Structure 1
Amino acid sequence: MTKVAIVYHSGYGHTAVLADKIAEGVRDAGQTPVVLKIENAAQDFAPIIEQITAADAVVFGAPTYMGDVSGVFKVFADATAGAFFTGAWKDKLAAGFTNSHSFAGDKGHALESLTILAAQHGMNWVNLGLAPPGVTAAERGPDTINRVGSFIGLAGQSDNASPEISPPAGDRETARLFGVRIAEAAVRWTRGAQPALSEAA
């Protein structure tokens, strides 16, 4: 089976909800999610980096704090320099997700940071692939798919409430569908790579 690593930091549990729903989508697509939670900036990141290296695709996730990814996630990103210098993640598929309290909150900038991290590693980015809702602002409720209207990756919105109820159902389903998309893309990508690898040998 194709392995999709989901590596994320979650400050209050809301981003973790989206990570779990992405993993559910990967499983729904018949593939294997490998959920890797970044606990703190002082931990040993080597085991996480090894599991990403062994995966066929990776989804990076972090809350948006002060207009960018969380500081804890940035420490992890800096720790991936070894993989960068060896090209360990080159040509893997990558995707990203973020979450914050506001609808905007410069979540796009956080997703761009995740995209640039992937690009520096020579990875190939998978976008959200879900059109924003064609409804009025008044009709854009908590059950709406891609209610934030993101394209580059998954952008969730959470109120100052328990992760049991926030982010809402629409964001959770958007995350699940994103997981399905990434898993299916990874299957196509790895299958397509096999003949090329055989011919190169």
Structure 2
Amino acid sequence: MPTVAVVYFSGTGHTKLMAEAVAAGASQVPGTEVKLLQITGEQIVNGRWQDPGILEELNRADGIIFGSPTYMGGVAAQFKAFVDAASAVWAQQGWKDKIAGGFTHSGSPSGDKQGTLLYLAINASQHSMVWVGNSEMGYNNEGVNRLGSFLGVMGFTVPDFSGQTPATLDEGDRLTSERYGRRIAEAVQRWKR
């Protein structure tokens, strides 16, 4: 059975909600197994990310969807530590020809999220993966792809700097994430044939 892994870091919960929506969309494709894998700060020991179980799940997956919040125009430090740790996989080209995609979230409509998606796509390309972009057209009544991103999926929530409000996700961003997960899973199914 083809497997799609969604590997992500989430600082305040918004990116986690996107990851769950991406996974839900991928799960809608019959015959697809979905793995939701969270990167955490606790996996970083002496400055190096370590979790052989997650790497093994990613090695077994047929498609990998990467997710990170955008912090200061790029991926979160915790996610970058994971990417650096995966360089051993890169050296062996262990993810070569796997389907790849990515998503990000920030606290402003732009927030330089394109930089994060470019980073994720470049990382996938260095691994010789096959990147799949977002195919949803914006300017619709559902709010799907409301931020107009085609490289991957972007989400935006006005930040609550008090930390008192639970994480939420705009309905359009949720739908976009879900449809993107389905698109990736369909691409994995076609690629596996």
- TM-score, normalising length from structure 2? 0.91
* SS class of match (1:105): coil
Q: CA deviation at 1:131?
A: 1.6
What's the offset of the Cα at 1:45? Answer: 2.6
Match of 1:195 in 2: none
Identify the residue that residue 170 of structure 1 maps to in structure 2.
Answer: 172
| Seq. identity, % | 41
Q: 1: CA distance between counterparts of 2:89 and 2:98?
A: 12
Aligned: 1:127 with 2:133: yes
Give the distance between the partners of 2:53 and 2:35, measured in 1 at CA. 12
Coordinate RMSD, CA, aligned: 1.4
- Read off the aligned partner of 2:35 and give its amino acid letter: V
Matched, 1:48 2:54: yes
* Equivalence for 2:189: 187
> Whole-Å Cα distance in 2 between the matches of residues 90 and 152 of structure 1?
20
Equivalent residues in 2 for 1:1-201, closer than 5 Å: 1-30=1-30, 31-40=32-41, 41-42=44-45, 43-133=49-139, 143-161=142-160, 162-164=165-167, 166-191=168-193
Contact between 1:14 and 1:163, CA under 8 Å: does it hold in 2? no
Contact 2:50 2:85 in 1 (8 A): no
Any idea what SS the aligned residue of 2:155 has?
Answer: strand
Amino acid at match of 2:131: W
Distance 2:118 2:166 in 1: 25
Distance, in Å, in 2 between the alignment partners of 1:156 and 1:177 is 14
Letter in 1 for 2:15: T
Which structure has the bigger radius of gyration?
Answer: 1
Which consecutive segments of 4 or more residues in structure 1 shift more than 3 A? 161-164
Matched length: 183
- Structure having the higher helix fraction is 1
Deviation at 1:163, TM superposition (A): 4.7
The 1:54–1:124 alpha-carbon spacing in structure 2 relative to 1, beyond 3 Å, is same
Question: TM-score, structure 1 length as denominator?
Answer: 0.87
